[in-house]
Amino acid sequence: MSLRLYDTGTRSVRDFQPRKPGEVGVYLCGLTVQGPPHIGHLRGGVAYDMLIRWLRRTGYNVTYVRNVTDIDDKILVRGEEQGRPWWSIAYENERKLSRDYAALNVEPPTYEPRATGHITEIIDLISELVERGHAYATESGNVWFSVSSWADYGELSNRRPEDMLSSPDTGDKRDSRDFGLWKAHKPGEPEDAAWTSPWGRGRPGWHIECSAMARRYLGDGFDIHGGATDLMFPHHENELAQSRGAGLDFTNFWIHGGLLNLSGTKMSKSLGNTLSVASLGEKGFRPADIRYYLTTGHYRSPLEFSEDLLAEAKTGWERLSNFVHRAAESLGAEATIGGALTADFVNAMDDDLNTPAAIAAIHDMAREGNTALDAGNDTAATSIAGGVRAMLDQLGLDPLDPHWEDPGDAKLHGAVDALVKLALEQRAEARARKDYAAADRIRDELAHAGITVKDTPRGPVWTVD
């Protein structure tokens, strides 16, 4: 079975074939950095991180572009509200976004371009659209894309232009459904939020920046374009129209991810129902817990958030982590390197990145591994532990990856190891002198502390419940 992905453009699951053998170009719409990121934003980054990891594991050389929108009306509003330069707000939130991506072990993209760094490319693309008759400039210095000039407008979102709502306030548009490519500088706006163009000083519209940056780094045609489902219209629809209108082949696949919901409503800054990595950390949830939770739902499906569901995910992650650490302690960490992915895991990932099924396959294998460790079957346990680590690593969740190590946790883990080892030595001495009551009391005290002791042919082993 080869990789199959759901393509929003055709509304079907299709075999993935890159334009150029061995090479894949991917563009993900990044964030508008008017505020700090929340885990709803991070879901898409994690999903695409797993896609990129899987493509690279398959042997593709991937060029991955994830943009940053660092100039926008919302950013200018935040600057005015806070009495700060708009660019300082954008940069501060971009740094926070990078920090949170790193915390969740999301690998950086090949390129992470900012809109403000590509004004030349944006102006060039707008000029081409004007020359082709798909855009028009007004006396005020605005440039609009003419929706009626593009017969296929609506093909991605399955909407017809005539069914779109019209606004009574059209400004200087010819048609209320037209969208902005270049926004003329307005009195009162920061002077450094405008650039010189053939149409006067101004700044780019939201949609045109992605078309220009995708073209700059991936060429006139590339393989995969994606983002969250709420970007399909109007953002991606507009991107498609303006890129094809300029004669670009653009993308072969559209991949859209489901939203993260809180009480049935999407998590968003405007609704004030957001949660950050830091705020969840204050409640005892670690970045690995959050990443694991974000993989438990299929990337295309909405994912409901609650602390109870996150706690369940934390428990699931700890079961896998505990098995890997137990195997490493019993067999040696080096013995658990280089395992194979199971057929069930590979088939799940090739089936449109079915991570819930992939995780289920890992849990099945970990249960077999614990049984092998209990029986003292080192050969089987080594093979299984290596496979579990390999599959978790493919999801960015290898428990022995130094990324997940916390210095404080490492010290605590070492202290617990030493104390449990001391208790087990005392238990062994009690059993040797046939003081079984004392031995049982030590075992029961450990169980009360959440540590289960099992006697195996190799000697006692312990796990944290």
Average pLDDT over residues 437-448: 85
Average pLDDT over residues 107-125: 98
How far CA 443 is from CA of 371, 451, 456, 458, 459, in Å, comes to: 20, 9, 14, 17, 14
Verify cis geometry, omega within 30 degrees of 0, for the bond prior to 234. yes
Average pLDDT over residues 103-125: 97
**Res. 450: pLDDT tops 60:** yes
> Within a 10 A sphere around the Cβ of 270, how many other Cβ atoms?
9
**Res. 228: pLDDT tops 70:** yes
Average pLDDT over residues 260-284: 76
**Res. 394: pLDDT tops 70:** yes
**Res. 241: pLDDT tops 60:** yes
Q: How far apart are the first and last CA of the chain?
A: 38
**Res. 272: pLDDT tops 80:** no
Q: Binning pLDDT at 50, 70 and 90, where does residue 410 land?
A: very low
**Res. 17: pLDDT tops 60:** yes
The residue with greater pLDDT, 381 or 453, is 381
The residue with greater pLDDT, 451 or 252, is 252
Average pLDDT over residues 445-453: 82
- Within 69-171, strands assigned E span 135-137, 143-145
State how far the Cα of 215 lies from the Cα of 239, in Å rounded to an integer: 11
- pLDDT tens across 131-184, in order? 999 999 999 999 999 999 999 999 999 987 766 655 555 679 999 899 999 999
As given in the structure block, the two tokens for residue 270 are: 């405007």
- DSSP assigned state of 20: B
**Res. 415: pLDDT tops 80:** no
**Res. 213: pLDDT tops 80:** yes
**Res. 454: pLDDT tops 90:** no
pLDDT at residue 161, as a whole number: 73
pLDDT at residue 163, as a whole number: 66
The residue with greater pLDDT, 428 or 342, is 342
Average pLDDT over residues 429-452: 85
pLDDT at residue 414, as a whole number: 55
State how far the Cα of 39 lies from the Cα of 290, in Å rounded to an integer: 8
State how far the Cα of 177 lies from the Cα of 147, in Å rounded to an integer: 7
**Res. 48: pLDDT tops 90:** yes
